[in-house]
Structure 1
């Protein structure tokens, strides 16, 4: 048990207490496969201190040793160090861009050739399920892969059970259509959850594309509020990997707070109603009119 391992480590550790330094925080982040920008180091230090205090771990040496053998402790630290604020239909401008411009480009797909979509940093699942609802409303067959570094977040996402706060941006019509009341909350209907699968991915550490994990050939990747937390060197690497994960003509959407990616990979870029949109150009793009990227007519 994790608690027993922690107790044994504390009894056997005779080394003096060590401060949680910047160097230690970087080493611990690397140990749990978490890429962290320099600006986020204080948050990681605070997360380490809270986790050590909660378990009564007296030294950094014990803590690092335990992280190597205790997955539950590592997951707990990851949850402390990462931001998981999300809700359904977040970022309305990008959702309008998806609804009216990007997703319709995949219309006409047969059920056995669905659009392939990846939600990166999915937290508790509101983002990929929001996209699933959009696809359902458009009659678009889709297979959605959702990933996160936190196993706890992925388990919550797979449950697909949410409170009122998570659904605050959803209309009553859509709530009735796609959710079932359950206890004090709501559960997404099975016809939506069946189209979404979840997997653990550590950006900056896992090698991508990974076709053996169905992490390749995406028509759309949504990677919002993730890259802003990565080390600069990892942003460059991950940009190239995301580009390689797209099918020809595929799209990548990030958040306004995320770093620009065009200098790191040969994306075609466009300024849209939902911010910068990136595209993996195809050999056909020169022969076609560029898609309108300003959302619906007003």
Structure 2
């Protein structure tokens, strides 16, 4: 794996900050190194300086930032997590939900479908740092591989086959507002009943993880829920109590 020394890392960070206004220092250096190596291989670039020059002088900087978004996603990914979410949702007649790092939109649309299917009025904010992923999500059109976990009755009820793709029904799309947003800088105060932040923290450094968790806690109502990825957990946060160790669900106390 490519190893980036401090000098080159700082140059990379500064180029991206100046050109697109995004601070990559929240990500772990090993994660950034893997992303750089991936982009260099696309261009068959062997020298790190050559790649930095490419970032400075072309649209590659936008492609690199887009590559930071974690796009491994599908509808009803980890069905047991959504089963648990459905149980918790039964206590609500309406709910405000935030899907952090929503990538191409499968997660927030899954949330919307569950809420609608259970008669819960729901307003969902879905955010990601990758503007291309957000534009894709807004269209609500997905290949068959994205819907492989969708139950047949749900597929028939909330999707329409359009050519070789599945379109999310408009009344489901209307429940979701998509935004390009950097979670490390997001500030809300007590707005959300549920926040999904799955499979993002594992790519962040320790300081950034703490900052993100703090921002999320500030955006949570009392007794609301945070749902993390299955390999993620919260350290030493007095505001959160884990209520499901398997599904990684925390309640704000």
TM-score range, shorter chain: 0.7 to 0.9
SS at match of 1:84: coil
Alignment correspondent of 2:157: 177
Greater radius of gyration (CA): 1
Q: Distance in 2 between matches of 1:272 and 1:250?
A: 16
For 1:39 and 1:21, locate their aligned partners in 2 and report how far apart those are by CA, in whole Å.
9
Unmatched segments (≥5 aa) in structure 1: 1-18, 110-114, 282-298
Residue 5 of structure 2, aligned match among 19, 22, 30: 22
Establish whether residue 208 from structure 1 lines up as the match of residue 208 from structure 2. no
Alignment match of 1:84 (pick from 71, 74, 79): 71
List structure 1 runs of 4+ shifted beyond 4 angstroms: 51-54
Q: 2:193 aligns with which of 203, 211, 219?
A: 219
Of 31, 36, 40, the residue aligned with 2:31 is 40
Q: 1:62 to 1:180 in 2, by over 3 A?
A: same
Among candidates 50, 59, 70, match of residue 50 of structure 2: 59
2:69 and 2:128 in contact (8 A); partners too: no
Q: Is the 8 A contact 1:47 1:81 kept in 2?
A: no
Q: CA deviation at 1:60?
A: 4.4
Aligned in 2, Cα 1:155/1:22: closer, same or farther, shift over 3 Å?
farther
TM-score by length of 1: 0.74
Distance in 1 of aligned mates of 2:136 and 2:238: 33
Contact 2:244–2:250, Cα closer than 8 Å, also in 1: no
| Residue deviations 1:160-197 (CA, integer Å, cap 9, x gap) | 00111101011221111001111111100100000101
Between the aligned partners of 1:43 and 1:174, the Cα distance in structure 2 is 37
Q: Could you list the per-position Cα deviations for residues 75-120 of structure 1 after superposition, in whole angstroms to 9, with x for gaps in the alignment? A: 31123344311110001111011111x111213x4xxxxx100001
Match for 2:209 among 230, 235, 244? 235
CA-atom RMSD in angstroms: 2.5
* Greater percentage in strand: 2
Which structure 2 segments of 5+ residues have no match?
A: none
Q: Is the 8 A contact 1:262 1:269 kept in 2?
A: no
Taking the aligned partners of 2:91 and 2:217, their CA distance within structure 1 comes to: 19
Aligned pair count reads 243
Instruction: Give the aligned partner of residue 266 of structure 1.
Output: 239
User: How far 1:280 sits from its partner (Å)?
Assistant: 1.3
- The change in CA–CA distance for 1:26 and 1:93 in structure 2 (over 3 A counts) is farther
